[in-house]
Structure 1
Amino acid sequence: MKRRAVLIGAAGLWPALGFSQAGDYPKPGATIRYVVPFPPGGLTDVMARLVGQQLGERWKVSVVIDNKPGSGGQIGADVAAKSPGDGNTLLAITLTHAANVTLFPKAAYSFTKDLRPVALLAGSPILIVVPAASPIQSLKELTAAAKARNLNAGSSGNGTPPHLTLALFNELAKTNIQHVPYKGGSPAMTDLIGGQLDVVFSNFPESIAHVKSGKLRAIAIASAARHPLVPDVPTTAEAGLPELLTENWTGLMAPASMSDAAVKKLAAEVVRIMQTPELEERARTQGFRVDARGPEAFAAFLHDEVARWAKVIQSANIKPD
């Protein structure tokens, strides 16, 4: 019953797919622009390039990654939302875009009206890290320390997944760790290693190398299961906060006018790509957990994520930069 209710709720945002034929999509020799609304080299860009390469090889088309960073992912999303619905423009999105629905109610595009879900690809968990020299050894010790003295936590910016996870932690643990926003995850990592910060609720790829090198200590991972790259790090549930779950997922969307048939064909191919052993292994080494879902399941997932983070944003009174 709960699953059915979620799908009905999602249908209010994104219509269900029809069953028309895909026709000649994509046209032979077509160029598909895959808009990534973040800089090259980041979590979203890496996954888009993996998928784009495979899609191009399978369909014998050219898939061009078009990085359009800025404004918390809104610039690239706006470009894709206002593109023709011929299937030749696609958009990479993350948890950030679900949060942006609440953070930017007057955005130049409508996330739920101008774009449509194609496929969920994968998730990358938030890793809670402290400096190697920190006396904090666990999530319980972090909670106790935060209640005993003033602590600060860096993030890659206001409203980003690390900031949202910090806000959720403060709410669940009844703490008040001070947020320090940075313009990206790397400078926050630098200051954490240097001891200027007490903790970072970090995007996994941004901190894993520092954990492996011994510069940082991971005290918990905000996922349902332990991660194979850090098997000794407990989950937040094991550490006593089962509701502290955050994956910075990435997915694929398209302009709302793209046909049902083309969306179904594209989604089926992308899900097949994501489920190949080769891509699953490459994704794992980048810190991802493959979670391939088609349009209807992705729509339901998005509906839940928008609602979930809206509550956190409103409760913590988070404002964009």
Structure 2
Amino acid sequence: MKRRDIVMASAAAALAALPGWSRAQGFPKPGATLKYVVPFAPGGLTDMMARTVAQKLSEAWKVSMIVENKAGGNAQIGAEQVAKSAPDGSSLLAITLTHAANVALFPNAAYSFTQDLRPVALLAGSPMLVVVPANSPIKDFKDLVALSKNKQLNAGSSGNGTPPHLTMALFNELNKTQMTHVPYRGGAPSMSDLIGGQLDVIFSNFPESIAHVKGGKLRALAICSLSRHPMVPEVPTTTESGMPGLVVENWTGAMIQAKTPDAIVDSYSREIIKTMYSADVEERARQQGFRVTSKGADEFAVFLKSEIERWSRIIRTAKITAT
């Protein structure tokens, strides 16, 4: 039996034990209109993943599920909208590692991430990739570790408190160094400056740098995961390169208004897991750099709690602020 079939069978068995295994009575009504709120601009990987799930839910439930992009406020605007929505299952929220970090970055937010929202399902994750310009004298990850202890290197990111910034902060902590952080407004401009030689390194979101690596403009030093990535099998992991603590994955999941009934949450969890482990979606995710790691509400809640604790500590230690 293939790994995917085993995972799907296990997931189905686990979900069958839930009290809400059968579709929540009356939800959703055929022909209903539901929202999948993405707190980022259209076109990003979180957006693409949400659209894939929304399409599958629409087909399975015979409803209209609209993806609504509500970018801004470091992904807080869309999150606040769902946090303050009706607890009837009509609005779903796409989240990423950014939201786990936001708990520490924005302690006075207009909503409580941990109290006004509840986990529905984890969808997939994508490991961070350590990249330098193709003509950089830094040839491998061990070179980076050694050079950063003797020279002030510049590390770019897509903004303060973003996954590339947090990964750099974790590297600094583990390596007892202080790279200079250079924040940008998004991943694309930071990649342009790295390629142009204005930056030394970026601990990048995999999808933002992989095309440049494949195109020969960037060199990948290591991948921040426990196993090598099938798209770059020649690139060693950070564990293989001597830094096992630098394992970072930017993930995407779904949450919903906190008072939403369990049966509705269970219906969403079941259908999302079924969708993510379907052959076509899993392959589409793989081509986009994701690894499907779909989990139901309870498992996702445990994972999310650990991510909030992990990044809150890093943010405090590194004195990271949102501005």
Range into which the TM-score falls when normalised by the shorter chain: over 0.9
Query: 1:45-93: CA deviations, max 9, x gaps?
Result: 1111111111111111111110001111001100010011111100000
Match of residue 198 from structure 2: 196
Match of residue 310 from structure 2: 308
Matched, 1:281 2:283: yes
Match of residue 271 from structure 1: 273
Q: Is the 8 A contact 1:18 1:260 kept in 2?
A: no
Question: Which amino acid in structure 2 is aligned with residue 300 of structure 1?
Answer: V
TM-score by length of 2: 0.93
2:77 to 75, 78, 87: 75
Alignment of 1:117-266 (within 5 A): 117-266=119-268
Match of residue 63 from structure 1: 65
**What SS does structure 2 have at the residue aligned with 1:53?**
helix
1:106 to 105, 108, 118: 108
Alpha-carbon distance between aligned partners in 2 of 1:110 and 1:27, rounded to the nearest angstrom: 30
Matched, 1:19 2:42: no
Tell me how far 1:147 sits from its aligned partner: 1.3
Match of residue 94 from structure 2: 92
Structure 1 gap segments, 5+ residues each: 1-16
Alpha-carbon distance between aligned partners in 1 of 2:266 and 2:174, rounded to the nearest angstrom: 39
Match of residue 12 from structure 1: none
Question: Which amino acid in structure 2 is aligned with residue 91 of structure 1?
Answer: L
Tell me how far 1:35 sits from its aligned partner: 0.3
Match of residue 322 from structure 2: 320
**What SS does structure 2 have at the residue aligned with 1:290?**
strand
Alpha-carbon distance between aligned partners in 2 of 1:253 and 1:57, rounded to the nearest angstrom: 21
Match of residue 8 from structure 1: none
Alignment of 1:287-306 (within 5 A): 287-306=289-308
Number of aligned residues: 305
The RMSD of aligned alpha carbons is 1.1
Alpha-carbon distance between aligned partners in 1 of 2:237 and 2:45, rounded to the nearest angstrom: 21
Alpha-carbon distance between aligned partners in 2 of 1:26 and 1:310, rounded to the nearest angstrom: 37
Between the aligned residues of both structures, percent identity stands at 63
Tell me how far 1:19 sits from its aligned partner: 2.8
**What SS does structure 1 have at the residue aligned with 2:149?**
helix
